[in-house]
Amino acid sequence: MKNAFISAAHGDIPLDLAIENINLVNVFSGEIYPAAIGIFQDKIVHVTKPGETKLAAKQTIDGQGKFAIPGLIDTHVHIESAMLTPSAYAEVVLPHGTTTIVTDPHEITNVLGEEGLSYMIEASKDLDLRILTFLPSCVPAAPRLETAGADFTPEVVERLMTLDGIDGLAEVMNYYDVIHQDPRMAGIVQAALDTGKIAQGHAPTVSGRDLSAYIIAGIDSDHECRTGEEALEKIQAGMIVEIRESSFSHNMAPIAKVIKDKGYFPNICLCSDDVLASDLLQQGHINHVVRRAIEEGIEPINAIRFGTLNAANRLGRTDIGAISPGRIADIVLLDDLESMHVSEVFTSGKQTVANGTLIRKQTIISPPSHFFETVKLPEIKEEALTITVENSQATKALVNAIEYDYAPGIPTNFLEVTLPVVNGEVQLDSYDGKKAPLNYIAVFHRHGHNTNVAKGVLAGFGITDGAVATTVAHDSHNLAVLGVNKKDMAIAANHLRKNNGGMVAVKNGKIVAELHLPIAGLMTTESAEEFSPKINNFLDRIESTMMPGKNPIHRLIIATLPVIPKAKITDMGLVDVDKQKFVPLILDSY
């Protein structure tokens, strides 16, 4: 029996579709030239020579001289961070030219375990967006230092790595335990390596001998580079550096400054990691990351290679990432390279976007009912938020506060502050240092496995009044409440407890802003178009009434992640990330 694809390529049978009169961006040769693309079923079977812009087929589309690039690939993303379901996510990123993503569903998996993972795999099927699901490696991220809704031991990972729909091991966040050969993390990484699948990395500020140890362990990528120098060291060491532009981390500018004059790097990819639905709508997706690279001086064709061919090579995929015979027909037509404005998108040979608008509705799979009941807490009293000292006669206390925005590459660090004590209770309102005002924080285990509560003090997080509570608290997603007074904090925390998650801001006893996230306390049931105005309204309200400054959501969700340097708080206490050890909140009282 003859191979129909060979026959179509040879011209023995008609092509199904020809996209004529395009300017082909050839990611192999680095050239741009007029051409036409021939498609049979879901594959590209012929690309004309430079200058040949016509091609016979059953259907022809005039590319009108637009630039044809391969479908864009995001090598590391958390769909849940957009606060959307997979189908809603697909509908918002496809019009921006993204045709393949690598997703790590560790947000919902930390809440709902294997059930959450299964839902994300099933909900990612039958979409025009190709979703490659990597198995979460860190459930929880730091098991000695926090408790989540599930616990993925090496034995669990070994079993799940062989499931259909699992394409690799997602970011190995606990780099400390990898480097120091903790048996749990060693077993998790080895379980992935034994399957021959990729193990993705996460290694913020890891350098020198520590970096070599991390690479030797079998992990070859990192998306956490926040400085150009860090990125260059990792590139030189042979790592895949995934340059990130997210809603919270803007890493292109410092990295581009160091690499832009050094030519083409085969081991650079692009990722979005955590991008809110509102930013996806307003800014774009990987096309936005490519645009930022071009704006920072990287040659356009190299920036496009980073988001296409390099990404495919990193994934070991020879069927995507380029416009050439034998590749899946994921093709994007751009009005111009500098703006990366997407006009048409074809996925697996079918047109999904026309004139920038999605024309193929995506399949929706709803989660089971118990996914809407994941905040398992008793009523929270004001006294549960009080910070006390053991010395009943003390009038002052030396306190370990968590300082936000400490330095480039180091989002948080510890800041020692001396505070007054009244009747055994630490008072924050008299602090007038450079990171004023101080804020309280409390983290409540919300998954029903224990009654853990940890309390702390924040510096530079910028809440000037009231309180904000959230069940989006990376990555165990316990309930965190931050604020300046205990009354508003208790109201905010209890509101989320009753409403099964989300984000809420309370001032003077009243709710001033809210984001309802009913699915696992992380995601909405709405589309990006429906939900984005609510995100913008939430941000506007809290910025104008109680939390001025940039990145308010980042400030809410960053304090609880014990694998990002250097100071964090979990449901079990304060954590020194570099040492992966607990540290005391009260250093001294007198």
Radius of gyration from C-alpha coordinates of the chain: 25
- Model confidence over 370-384: pLDDT tens digits? 999 999 999 999 999
- Distance, in Å, from the CA atom of 424 to the CA atom of 391, rounded to the nearest integer, reads 7
Mean pLDDT of the chain: 97
Arithmetic mean of pLDDT, 533-558: 94
Q: Above 90 in pLDDT, residue 224?
A: yes
Task: Classify residue 430 as exposed, middle or buried by CB count within 10 Å of its CB (0-12, 13-18, 19+).
Answer: exposed
Is a pLDDT exceeding 90 seen at residue 110?
yes
- What pLDDT does 56 receive? 96
Mean pLDDT value across residues 492-500: 97
Residue 73, token pair as written in the block: 């690939």
Q: Could you identify the residue written with the tokens 């997210």?
A: 246
The pTM assigned to this predicted structure is 0.96
Does 551 score more than 90 pLDDT?
no
173-200 pLDDT, tens digit each: 999 999 999 999 999 999 999 999 999 9
Beta bridge partners of 467: 483, 506
Q: Are 443 and 414 in contact (CB under 8 A)?
A: no
Report the relative pairing of strands 67-70 and 17-26 from DSSP bridges. Answer: parallel
Question: What is the residue extent of each domain of the chain?
Answer: 4-65, 69-367, 371-589
Q: Is the pLDDT of residue 548 over 90?
A: yes
Tally of CA atoms within 13 A in the half-sphere of 50 that contains its CB: 7
pLDDT tens digit sequence for 470-487: 999 999 999 999 999 999
**CATH fold match for the domains 4-65 and 69-367:** no
Q: Are 364 and 527 in contact (CB under 8 A)?
A: no
- Contact present, 122 and 82 (Cβ < 8 Å): no
What is the reported pLDDT for 434? 83
Q: Is pLDDT above 90 for 121?
A: yes
Read off the tokens for 22. 């395009």
Reply yes or no on whether the pLDDT at 25 is more than 90: yes
The pair of three-digit structure tokens given for residue 130, joined into one six-digit string: 């190709």
Q: Is 520 helix (H, G, I), strand (E, B) or coil?
A: coil
Tokens 């509570």, residue located: 469
| pLDDT computed for residue 432 by the predictor | 85
Place 208 in a pLDDT band, splitting at 50, 70 and 90: very high
Angle made by CA atoms 68, 317, 71, in degrees to the nearest 5: 20
Are 523 and 530 in contact by the 8 Å Cβ rule? The answer is no
Structure tokens at 152: 């993925």
- Cis peptide bond N-terminal to 154, omega within 30: no
List phi, psi (to 5°) of 526: -90, 170
Selected from 3.50.50.60, 3.90.1200.10, 3.20.20.140, 3.40.50.880, the CATH number assigned to the domain covering 69-367 reads 3.20.20.140
Angle at CA of residue 273, ends 212 and 116, nearest 5°: 105
Q: What number of residues does the chain have?
A: 590
Token reading at 416: 């020692």
User: Distance between CA 71 and CA 141 in Å, rounded?
Assistant: 32
- Binned at pLDDT 50, 70 and 90, residue 63 comes out as very high
Please give the Cα distance from 115 to 415 (Å, whole number): 40
The CATH class, in words, for 4-65 is: mainly beta
DSSP for residue 366: P
Tokens of 41: 């079923």
Distance CA 337, CA 23 (A): 11
**Paired residues of 237 in beta bridges:** none
Tokens 């059930």 correspond to what residue?
A: 115
Residue 294 to residue 288: CA distance in whole angstroms: 10
Q: For residues 201 and 225, is the Cβ–Cβ distance under 8 A? A: no
Asked whether residue 64 carries a pLDDT value surpassing 90, the answer given is: yes
Q: What is the pLDDT of residue 550?
A: 87
Contact by Cβ (8 Å): 168, 192: yes
Q: How confident is the model at residue 392 (pLDDT cuts 50, 70, 90)?
A: confident
Measure the CA–CA gap between 342 and 287, rounded to whole angstroms: 8
